[in-house]
Amino acid sequence: MNNTAESVWENCLSFIQDNIQPQAYRTWFEPVKAVKLVDNALSIQVPSKFFYEWLEEHYVKLLKVALRKELGENARLVYIIKMENTYGNRLPFTEKIPSAERSHVKPQEVDVPIKNKNPELRNPFVIPGIRNVKIESQLNPSYNFESFLEGDSNRLARSAGMAVANKPGGTSFNPLLVFGGVGLGKTHLAHAIGVEIKEKYPEKTVLYISAEKFTQQYIESVKKNTRNDFIHFYQLIDVLIIDDVQFFSGKTGTQDVFFHIFNHLHQNGKQVVLTSDKAPVDMQDIEQRLLSRFKWGLSAELQSPDFETRVSILNNKLYRDGVEMPEEIVEYVAKNIKSNVRELEGAIISLIAQSSFNKREITLELAAQVVDKFVKNTKREVSIDYIQKVVSDYFQMDVETLQSKTRKRHIVQARQLAMFFAKKFTKASLASIGSQIGSRDHATVLHACKTVDNLSSTDKQFRKYVEDLTKKLSL
């Protein structure tokens, strides 16, 4: 890397750091790298088109001042966007010139409204036979951006959601895919985007729906021979929000119909927002052509909130509910419940309930009792990776050995037990379990589960393996 480019950018960053909030600096400027300096043009590499658009929209004046300070009035900034194609291979860097210098290449915004040519078009959200042209958004107004507190764990996803809400269908993050574990706020953020769009653009048709309900509606349309009506209905939507899209896994008919709906909406400048419990790269049994479309826009992860964010979430919850609680108790709950927002809010609700029902003052002792019970009663999500680790540790082998092709009896049995517990403790399909445990097929997993059942009833030692591992995985 050219030292001159690096030193110029370092000086720019020092100036920028003095003029914006530390959190904003960490999120939007730390990932940016200086690449080259040619004449008065500094090239910087940004991680995605999303970063480029965000910097241009929010920090272009600050960047201009910082750069002119270093390179004079004729200073220019060139963005190099790190891009990937849908097959995961790197594409050559694509250079982007700032808005002031790229008016001739500005993309044309096209918004073609879909005319309803079929007067008998059925809305899957109303009782058959009852006409209703108005499409209800199915949004929960209490799930808004105001109640979705920002922290390091969710800043990128929240910022992307706000950008989509400000300009639905008009940004490079279409679709926006928000992914993360249970209770981290995916559904809340999805609703917040919809609620904000409805406020800003009342004329737009916004629809929130779970992937499960979408699938049920599709199956119903096939039974009643109204598949075309189903597709046409969804093509009318301006902003389609689908929650838990991993539910499409293994459902080829639903995937096919969603593929066509997605293409139509995307081509007509409509916005698609998706949530999932895993990143596209980790989704099993989803067609490649659909996965490639999920990667067209931005995939933003929600992670477990840090301590400061957990405290803010609890204080916000108490404020909204009109409840006062000593700060030391709030901090105690935040310190001891770390996994997700849902559990955090559940614990504070339990604490308030215990206090009011038993007419007891909220003390640290009461908080300790409630948190202890809450943590014990909360069922931890068990992943296939975690199951493989527990089984491997139990049989004193590494995960690679467990997944290997070897036919040694004790390794085969360990592998079969891992498959058995993956089926028992997760919602993953047999094909998904097989592919994650040594690239086996669903028939191998089915055979493993039957073998474990048979050996448990006939072999005393094997039954002990099952009992011991059940305890370890249920802790």
Digit-by-digit pLDDT tens for the chain (475 residues) are: 445 889 999 999 998 988 887 777 887 888 888 988 888 888 888 877 767 777 877 788 888 888 888 888 888 888 887 653 333 333 333 344 443 333 222 222 222 222 333 333 445 554 333 334 457 788 888 888 887 877 777 888 888 899 999 989 888 888 899 988 777 888 899 999 999 999 988 888 899 999 888 998 898 888 888 888 888 888 888 999 999 898 888 888 899 899 989 988 988 889 999 999 888 877 778 888 888 888 888 888 888 777 887 888 888 777 776 777 878 888 888 887 776 777 777 778 777 777 666 666 777 777 777 777 666 555 455 788 889 999 999 999 999 999 999 899 999 999 999 999 998 888 777 888 988 898 898 889 999 999 999 999 899 899 999 999 998 887 6
Phi, psi of 129 (to 5 degrees): 95, -20
Per the listing, tokens 């997605």 go with 262
pLDDT at 387 (0 to 100): 93
The predicted pLDDT at position 128 comes to 39
How confident is the model at residue 58, as a pLDDT?
A: 79
Cα dihedral value 33, 150, 283, 80, nearest 10: -20
Quick one: pLDDT at residue 170? Answer: 83
The whole-number pLDDT of residue 475 equals 60
Q: What's the pLDDT score for residue 116?
A: 33
Closest by CA position to 42, among listed 82, 20, 14, 72: 72
Domains of the chain: 3-101 (3.30.300.180), 155-302 (3.40.50.300), 307-377 (1.10.8.60), 384-474 (1.10.1750.10)
Residue 431 near residue 284 (C-beta atoms within 8 A): yes
277-309 b/e (C-beta count within 10 Å ≥ 16 → b): bbebeebbbbeeebeebbbbbbbbbbebbeeeb
Q: What is the pLDDT of residue 21?
A: 79
The predicted model scores a pTM of 0.52
Please give the Cα distance from 158 to 160 (Å, whole number): 5
The pLDDT score that the predictor gives to residue 241 is 94
* Contact in structure between 135 and 237 (CB atoms under 8 Å): yes
Q: What's residue 107's pLDDT?
A: 26
